[in-house]
């Protein structure tokens, strides 16, 4: 590119080639990460689709999902409404210990089911 300059040209070309190779390495890393993430999502969707019509899974899902969803809704209601209207608060305690992951599992299931239904359209 700048090889016509006697001394500065090769130095600038070397610096540009180092920068280019560094950026190419970063791009390759992001492409690999994206491929791995896409494979994980496809595996999760395949597992979810395999258990969509399974009756014991549906029963267990309903037993867990209804109370968990009711708790999440009331807890969020308390957090939003409690600042301005404290007389409308239910007073639900936060989940602790091993049950603290339940709201995240519920949200993951709801968004996963919505994504599966969106793919069918």
User: For 6-59, how does the pLDDT look when each residue is reduced to its tens digit (9 = 90+)?
Assistant: 676 666 777 777 778 777 787 778 778 778 888 888 887 787 777 777 788 778
How much is the average pLDDT of 115-120?
60
Structure tokens at 109: 């299931």
- Angle (CA) 71 75 81, round 5°: 140
Query: Could you say which DSSP state residue 93 is in?
Result: P
Instruction: Bin 35: left if φ > 0, else alpha if -120 < ψ < 50, else beta.
Output: alpha
Please report, rounded to a whole number, the percentage of residues in the chain having pLDDT higher than 70: 83
pLDDT class for 88, splitting at 50, 70, 90? very high
Whole-number pLDDT of residue 87: 92
Q: Which among 41, 45, 22 is positioned nearest to 33, based on CA atoms?
A: 41
In this predicted model, which residue has the larger pLDDT, 118 or 39?
39
Give 91's contacts (C-beta < 8 A, 6+ positions apart): 78
Q: Where are the domains of the chain?
A: 1-50, 53-121
**Contact in structure between 106 and 71 (CB atoms under 8 Å):** no
pLDDT class for 80, splitting at 50, 70, 90? very high
pTM: 0.46
């Amino acid at each position: 590119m700048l090889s016509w300059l006697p001394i500065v040209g090769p130095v600038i070309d070397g610096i540009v080639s180092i920068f280019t190779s560094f950026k190419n390495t970063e791009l390759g890393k992001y492409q690999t990460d994206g491929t791995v993430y896409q494979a994980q999502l496809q595996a999760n969707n395949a597992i979810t689709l395999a258990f969509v019509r399974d009756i014991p899974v549906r029963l267990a899902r309903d037993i867990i999902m209804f109370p968990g969803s009711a708790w999440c809704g009331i807890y969020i209601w308390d957090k939003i409404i409690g600042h301005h209207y404290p007389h409308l608060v239910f007073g639900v305690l936060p989940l602790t210990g091993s049950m603290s992951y339940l709201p995240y599992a519920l949200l993951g299931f709801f968004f996963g089911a919505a994504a599966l239904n969106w793919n069918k359209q």
